[in-house]
Amino acid sequence: MKDITRKKYQDALNDLKEQGYSDSTMDGINRTGKMIFRKALELEIIKKDPTEFAYLKKDKKTIEQLEEDEVPKYLEKEELALFLKTAKKQGLDLDYLMFLILSYTGIRVGELVALKWKDVDFINHTISITKTYYNPNNNTLKYQLVTPKTRKSRRKIVVDEDVIQILKNHRKALNNIIEQLGDDYYNKDFIFAKTERQYGYPIVIKTVQLRMARLLAIAGLNQDLTPHSLRHTHTSLLAEAGVSLEQIMDRLGHTDDQITKNVYLHVTQEMKKEASQKFAQLMRSLD
- On whether residue 122 sits in a domain, the answer given is yes
- On whether residue 262 sits in a domain, the answer given is no
Q: Name the residue range of residue 141's domain.
A: 82-225
Kindly give, in sequence order, each residue whose CB lies less than 8 Å from that of residue 24, ignoring residues fewer than 6 positions away.
258
Q: What phi, psi does 154 have (nearest 5°)?
A: -75, 115
- On whether residue 252 sits in a domain, the answer given is no
- On whether residue 194 sits in a domain, the answer given is yes
Do 117 and 25 share a domain, yes or no? no
Cα separation of 285 and 287, whole Å? 6
The pLDDT > 90 percentage for the chain reads 61
Please give the pLDDT value at position 287: 64
Please give the pLDDT value at position 67: 41
pTM for the whole structure: 0.72
Q: Which of 211, 206, 267, 201 is nearest to 236 (CA)?
A: 267
Do 60 and 86 share a domain, yes or no? no
List 126's β-bridge partners, or say none.
121, 158
Do 100 and 210 share a domain, yes or no? yes
pLDDT (tens place) for every residue of the chain, 287 residues total: 888 999 999 999 989 888 888 777 888 898 899 989 988 888 889 988 999 888 888 766 554 544 445 677 899 999 999 999 999 999 999 999 999 999 999 999 999 999 999 999 999 999 999 999 999 888 999 999 998 867 788 999 999 999 999 999 999 999 999 999 999 999 999 999 999 999 999 999 999 999 999 999 999 999 999 999 999 999 999 999 999 989 999 999 887 778 888 888 888 877 777 777 777 777 677 76
- On whether residue 240 sits in a domain, the answer given is no
Categorise residue 197: left if φ over 0, alpha if ψ from -120 to 50, beta otherwise.
left
Cα separation of 50 and 258, whole Å? 30
Which of the 8 DSSP states describes residue 142?
Answer: G
Q: 12-37 pLDDT, tens per residue?
A: 998 988 888 877 788 889 889 998 99
Mean per-residue pLDDT over the chain, rounded: 89
Do 54 and 17 share a domain, yes or no? yes
Domain count, the chain: 2
Do 205 and 115 share a domain, yes or no? yes
- Which CATH number do you get for residue 179? 1.10.443.10
Do 38 and 88 share a domain, yes or no? no
- On whether residue 238 sits in a domain, the answer given is no
Do 89 and 34 share a domain, yes or no? no
